[in-house]
Structure 1
Amino acid sequence: MNALAARFNAIFGADMAGPLAALAAVLVVFGFASPHFLTGATFGSVAFQLPELGVLTLAMLMPILTGGLNLAITFTANIAGLTLAWTLQANGGIEAGPGAFLLGSALALAVGAASGLVMGLVIAFTRAHPILVSLSMMIFLRGLGEFLTRGGDISGFPAFIAPIGHGSILGIPVPLLILIACVIASHILLSRSKLGFSTYMIGSNIESARYSGINTRKVLVLVYMLSGVMAAVAGIIMLARFNSVRVGHGESYLLITVLACFLGGINPFGGFGRVLPVFVALIVLQLLSSGLNLLGANQHLTTAVWGILLIVVMVLRWLSAKFIKIVK
């Protein structure tokens, strides 16, 4: 048994056991509960619904690894989406060409980076708590978006944008391909780059990281900038999926991104965690949502279940840590 566990850890990593067990449980429970769950329609729906949540979770992941948090990811995504929408409208609306889309996407990414830059600078140089800083940014972006749109939405975009949200390549949804590319990029960044190493060091002990010669201020600024850019990517995907943008799109995703990170083995205090277990955890949460929908549960009950699940994950991790101490 120990040899089997050691082999599993060598192949997948110790932090993959929880997400894979949760995935198996969800498949078995809902597979028996609904005859329509284990079908191509369900998995196709998950493949199209997962990407914007997945990219937002990646935007949340890096700040958590530093021991911080970015509560502004959903409104950063919305402001980035609005930036793209305004650029398209200024260049012909539904008649806008690919050049306008590329310009708008670049501006959207720049807006996301600017949001992260401001938060990173404040956190790095004032040592203000990331929750307070990102909460302030969230309130600012929400108020700014409501003011500029007067609470309405912007819709009517060129037809060539639709495949980004609804198209497929060789049977694989385009937004899912974007998510996979972001997962791979995040995995490489965190596991094979100096910035990734520094991110883990800061999350483990920021003072030790500073004494080790790491420019902690620079790393924190870069981490929050990358978080903002990733949120902007999610905003572009949401614009293409919904064919509209408004302040508040995906607001409920904030809870789920945190839950996915913790379910995926990310240490809430920073310093430990990997991208791939978080990706599996995202699939679990989306399958859970689809299974509840098939059983007739509305979105409000699904949100309630996610909240309870977050508490359960915290308790199980605490019990696991206690058990390990007893065994040692």
Structure 2
Amino acid sequence: MSAFDRLNARLGRETLPLLAFAVFVFAAFSLATPLFLTGRNLSSMAFQMPVLGLLTLAMMVPILSGGLNLAIIFQANLSGLTLAWVLIQFGGPEAGVGAFLLGCLAAIAVGATSGALMGAVVAYVGAHPILVSLAMMIFLRGLGEFLTRGGDISGFPEFLGVIGHGNVMGIPVPLLVFGLAALVWHIMLTRTRHGFSVYMIGSNIEASEYSGLHTKRTLMLIYTISGIICAVAGILMLTRFNSVRVGHGEALLLVTVLACFLGGVDPFGGFGRVLPVVLALVILQMLSSGLNLIGANQHLSTAVWGLFLIAVMALRWLGGRLRYGTGRD
């Protein structure tokens, strides 16, 4: 085995092609507009990507298990509403760090509870994850609209801006949060028994049961963890925008699925790695920012994302044909 093959096997077969494409996109937009390489634009991308990245991680693990979590946006929003409510109870703009920490714990509890309920129904009732998560999405959206009457909640302590807009040694705090979450996801999927169980369930849940894995417990934990990372995304959104709204970020739902598939996550479960998904997120962010800088219509980026997915699938199919042959004599 060559050094290239060993590197490709270690990083994942999707990583190197995505890395090459990321370099190509970066170079193309750098040549297309001088604004792309400015510190302001790079900083803007670094602040924009983390929320989408956290929501993508929340979507990734259910897909790896052969399921789906359509409720991620509203889990994040309701968790953000929970934090907002706690802050308001402690004085709103005058609330202290203790109130914020208490609100974060409450927000994470809401995200975890909603995820655990979905996981319990999927695991013990046997309902399809799409139907279960769709029902949870509708419930959380309706609950949020009822609690807020469809409006925004704002007016929070100024120190929250440090989380949403601050830097540590020049690195945006939201990017650090996402980087830490991605590292935890990588370790969880590659170094823990739970990660092994996730892949096994996604590959063949019946075989996993016969092999002695606690599939029901694992499924419940999968959706619970997904809910927790949604809560983190909701907290980050509140600190970024200094407001909470139930429908905030609805357009990101399908983008998270797109990022997972671009990153090589098998839509039927059982295969996928964190690093290629992170690279896919970087590419999507560069495409969005680059097209905006060259004056393209804001809706064009969505079309380009779709074309990019089609191109990637075509290249994977072609690569498979070239590597393994046509199967004909």
For normalisation by structure 1, the TM-score amounts to 0.95
Q: What is the alpha-carbon distance in structure 2 between the residues aligned to residue 209 and residue 42 of structure 1?
A: 47
Cα displacement string for residues 186-217 of structure 1 (whole angstroms, at most 9, x for unaligned residues): 11111000000000000010011110000100
Deviates more, 1:298-307 or 1:29-38: 298-307
Aligned to 2:295: 296
Aligned to 1:258: 257
- 1:166 matches 2:165: yes
| Secondary structure of 1:299 counterpart | coil
Q: What is the alpha-carbon distance in structure 1 between the residues aligned to residue 119 and residue 312 of structure 2?
A: 29
- 1:267 matches 2:266: yes
Aligned to 2:177: 178
Alignment of 1:30-45 (within 5 A): 30-45=29-44
Q: What is the alpha-carbon distance in structure 2 between the residues aligned to residue 163 and residue 104 of structure 1?
A: 17
Alignment of 1:60-209 (within 5 A): 60-209=59-208
**How many Å apart are 1:7 and its aligned residue?**
4.2
| Secondary structure of 2:2 counterpart | helix
Aligned to 2:23: 24
- CA-atom RMSD, angstroms? 1.6
Cα displacement string for residues 36-95 of structure 1 (whole angstroms, at most 9, x for unaligned residues): 212322221111111111111110110010011111101110000000001100110000
Aligned to 1:278: 277
Q: Which amino acid aligns with 2:8?
A: N
**How many Å apart are 1:139 and its aligned residue?**
1.1
Deviates more, 1:308-317 or 1:88-97: 308-317
Deviates more, 1:84-93 or 1:255-264: 255-264
Aligned to 1:13: 12
Q: What is the alpha-carbon distance in structure 2 between the residues aligned to residue 223 and residue 310 of structure 1?
A: 26
What are structure 2's unaligned runs of at least 5 residues? none
Q: What is the alpha-carbon distance in structure 2 between the residues aligned to residue 158 and residue 49 of structure 1?
A: 22
Q: What is the alpha-carbon distance in structure 2 between the residues aligned to residue 128 and residue 70 of structure 1?
A: 13
Aligned to 1:49: 48
**How many Å apart are 1:136 and its aligned residue?**
1.2
**How many Å apart are 1:239 and its aligned residue?**
0.3
**How many Å apart are 1:131 and its aligned residue?**
1.1
Q: Which amino acid aligns with 1:287?
A: M
Confirm or deny: 8 A CA contact 2:70 2:253 kept in the other structure. Answer: yes
**How many Å apart are 1:322 and its aligned residue?**
4.0
Q: Which runs of 4+ in 1 moved over 6 A?
A: none
For normalisation by structure 2, the TM-score amounts to 0.95
| Secondary structure of 2:69 counterpart | coil
Deviates more, 1:82-91 or 1:20-29: 20-29
Deviates more, 1:124-133 or 1:114-123: 124-133
Q: What is the alpha-carbon distance in structure 2 between the residues aligned to residue 278 and residue 91 of structure 1?
A: 39
Deviates more, 1:10-19 or 1:149-158: 10-19
| Secondary structure of 2:299 counterpart | helix
Cα displacement string for residues 235-260 of structure 1 (whole angstroms, at most 9, x for unaligned residues): 00000000000011111111111111
Q: What is the alpha-carbon distance in structure 2 between the residues aligned to residue 33 and residue 206 of structure 1?
A: 49
Confirm or deny: 8 A CA contact 1:18 1:263 kept in the other structure. Answer: no
Confirm or deny: 8 A CA contact 2:12 2:273 kept in the other structure. Answer: no
Aligned to 1:310: 309
